[in-house]
Amino acid sequence: MSSAAPSGSGATGPGTNGSNGPLVAQGDWTKDLVHLAKQAELKKHALALQLHTAHILSAHASLEQKSKAIQDIKEQKNKLESERARLLKCLQDINADRDSADLAESTLNKECTDLRTKITQLSDGEYALAKNDVDRLRADLGQAPLPSLQQTLEERTAQYLTERRLGGNEDAYYSGGGGGGGDGAGTKRGAPSDAGFGEGLAKRPRGRPKGSKNKKVTST
């Protein structure tokens, strides 16, 4: 039995040595190679992840910046819209005021035309007839004829200018008669000459009391 043991150990020795070499190569070295390959792959994917992360962060920052710009544009747009609405309201008010001014101007032009027509009709019609009758009767009574309508208007204008130079109220003249306002306004430039002419005409009514005395004498 002692001789069988060495032979058995001798038979199994070479087989054991032959099998140990491949077992070592397929053991720890394979695991290390797999680990190294996974580490290399991990680095590769980590670099790709970092690159994608950087792109995402950059895009996110750009998105936030553009979102803020959009918000600023919306606020500016709201301000512009409010300003536009205000300007449109002002334009509507201006157009309404202009329409009112046009209507008032048209109305006043029509009234002025009607007044000029009325003045012309009265001057050439009833006034002329009444003036002729009065002047004829005054001539029969030995009295001077009445001043013409133009002289009366000039006297009124001269009186207004005199009152204005003496500190009279301008509104008092316009409230006294509507027709005299235009004549007074039209003769503002020639005030000195009109005043002198008015003063000369103002002396004319002195002869009227003499006529009235003559009327009393003739009547007696």
CB 152 within 8 A of CB 197: no
The pLDDT of residue 202:
41
Statement: residue 77 has pLDDT above 70: yes
The pLDDT of residue 76:
94
Cα separation, 51 vs 73, in Å, equals: 33
Cα separation, 174 vs 196, in Å, equals: 22
Statement: residue 100 has pLDDT above 80: yes
Instruction: State which amino acid sits at residue 192.
Output: P
What is the mean predicted confidence (pLDDT) over 74-99?
95
Statement: residue 177 has pLDDT above 70: no
Here the tokens at position 71 are 């918000």
- Per the document, the length of the chain is 220
Statement: residue 220 has pLDDT above 70: no
Residue of 75 and 195 predicted with greater confidence: 75
Cα separation, 163 vs 153, in Å, equals: 15
What is the mean predicted confidence (pLDDT) over 95-121?
93
Sequence-separated (6 or more) residues with CB below 8 Å from residue 164: 170, 173
Cα separation, 200 vs 57, in Å, equals: 101
Instruction: Rounding to the nearest 10 degrees, give the CA dihedral for residues 211, 212, 218, 220.
Output: -160
Max mean pLDDT among 170-174, 184-188, 198-202 falls in: 170-174
Q: Between the CA of residue 183 and those of 3, 18, 165, 178, 194, what are the distances in Å?
A: 165, 144, 17, 10, 11
